[in-house]
Amino acid sequence: MADAILWLIPVLLLVLAAEFVNGWTDSPNAIATVVTTRVLPPSYAVLMAAVLNIVGTLVTGTAVAQTIGKDIVRPEVITPAVVAAAMITIVLWSTAAWYFGIPTSESHELIAGLSGGGFAVAGPSVLLWEGWRKVLIGLGFSTLLGFFLSMLVMTGLYWALRRTSPSTIRNAFSKLQIFSAAFMAFSHGSNDGQKFMGVFALTLVLAGVLPQFYVPVWVMLLCGTVMGLGTAVGGWRIIRTMGFKLTKLEPVTGFAAETSSGLAIVIASTFGIPLSTTHTITASILGVGATKRVSAVRWGMANNIVLTWIVTFPVCALLGYLLTKLLGLAF
């Protein structure tokens, strides 16, 4: 146990660092639209997102955490070096993407980093189909469902409001968008917050602190709070990209994007499906923009974001592999 403590504390700190980065670079997606449309001042929006991310983490169960902790890579082959390598991978890749103002997926970085580390320890047999099946379903939820659900919601709103004056629409949805942004922040916590809770709990199991895998309440509180602090620090580069560089957003389109992505995320969380909340809100923003007209979307920026998504898996898997080999010498 004494030997375990030597590596347990630094590894847990790395998990919390990755959770903080998640709140710093990913959670701003939840408030990008409400800030862009000037429905809420940035300080209020950040505070709301921080609080509701914590609430979403606490009250929606641990199905996603179970998937991350037990179903992606065989738990018995995961070592402290694998966990540490995955967390360092997340911090490095997310920070690099943030520098260029490109929203990336901590979910995919985490899954790829753990998988690459598992490869380094025991080869390809470490991967578990049950968890990867949910990851593939999550890709569909985050992209296809996010895009087409937002188009459906936006089309319905256009039809329902076709005889309503623009000023009335703006006034009404300036209020409604506060609720949709709150829902989006809550749903973000319900999925993204759970992922790092799962890794934190798994690390405690590896050290013998927990007899078996489960997520204690204090772990939920700690991880949720750290993610909330990351959100409070703010990720204004990401907010500018999501809110200004993809399409022109108004309160009604922001409401449609947030409601659609929030629904997709909550459904996924209920079934323990880890998805990219970044992919989901981005696809929803593109969906509402395309509903207006195809040229309303700035496809050049969208292509840059999608390209980053594509390379995230192989790059982070390679980083996880190399860092595990390196850290294995230390652990």
Sign of CA dihedral 187, 190, 195, 199: positive
Is residue 135 assigned to a domain?
A: yes
Report the Cα–Cα distance between both ends of the chain, in Å, rounded: 14
Q: Which two tokens stand for residue 208?
A: 């013998």
Is residue 299 assigned to a domain?
A: yes
Nearest to 33 by CA among 244, 230, 225: 244
Q: Give pLDDT, residue 91.
A: 93
* CA gap 111, 271 in Å, rounded: 18
Domain that holds residue 310: 2-326
Is residue 267 assigned to a domain?
A: yes
Is residue 251 assigned to a domain?
A: yes
* pLDDT tens readout for residues 38-63: 788 877 887 787 788 778 877 776 77
* CA gap 326, 329 in Å, rounded: 6
The model's pTM is 0.83
- pLDDT of residue 3 exceeding 80, the answer is no
Q: Could you tell me the pLDDT band of residue 168, with boundaries at 50, 70 and 90?
A: very high
Q: Give pLDDT, residue 75.
A: 81
Q: How many domains does the chain have?
A: 1
Find all residues with CB under 8 Å of 95, minimum gap 6, and list them: 21, 25
* CA gap 182, 187 in Å, rounded: 9
Find all residues with CB under 8 Å of 72, minimum gap 6, and list them: 111, 114, 115, 127, 128, 131, 132, 135
- pLDDT of residue 82 exceeding 80, the answer is yes
* CA gap 20, 191 in Å, rounded: 15
Of 107-121, 140-154, 240-254, 269-283, which has the strongest mean pLDDT? 107-121
Is residue 331 assigned to a domain?
A: no
CA atoms within 13 A on the CB side of 110: 30
Average pLDDT over residues 91-109: 83
* CA gap 49, 310 in Å, rounded: 28
Q: Give pLDDT, residue 234.
A: 62
- What whole-number percentage of the chain has pLDDT above 70? 90
Is residue 82 assigned to a domain?
A: yes
- Maximum separation of any 2 CA atoms in the chain, in Å: 71
Alpha helices in the chain (DSSP H): 2-25, 32-36, 42-59, 63-66, 80-99, 106-122, 129-140, 146-160, 166-188, 194-206, 217-233, 236-244, 251-270, 277-292, 299-330
Is residue 25 assigned to a domain?
A: yes
Are 39 and 254 in contact by the 8 Å Cβ rule? The answer is yes
Q: Could you tell me the pLDDT band of residue 115, with boundaries at 50, 70 and 90?
A: very high
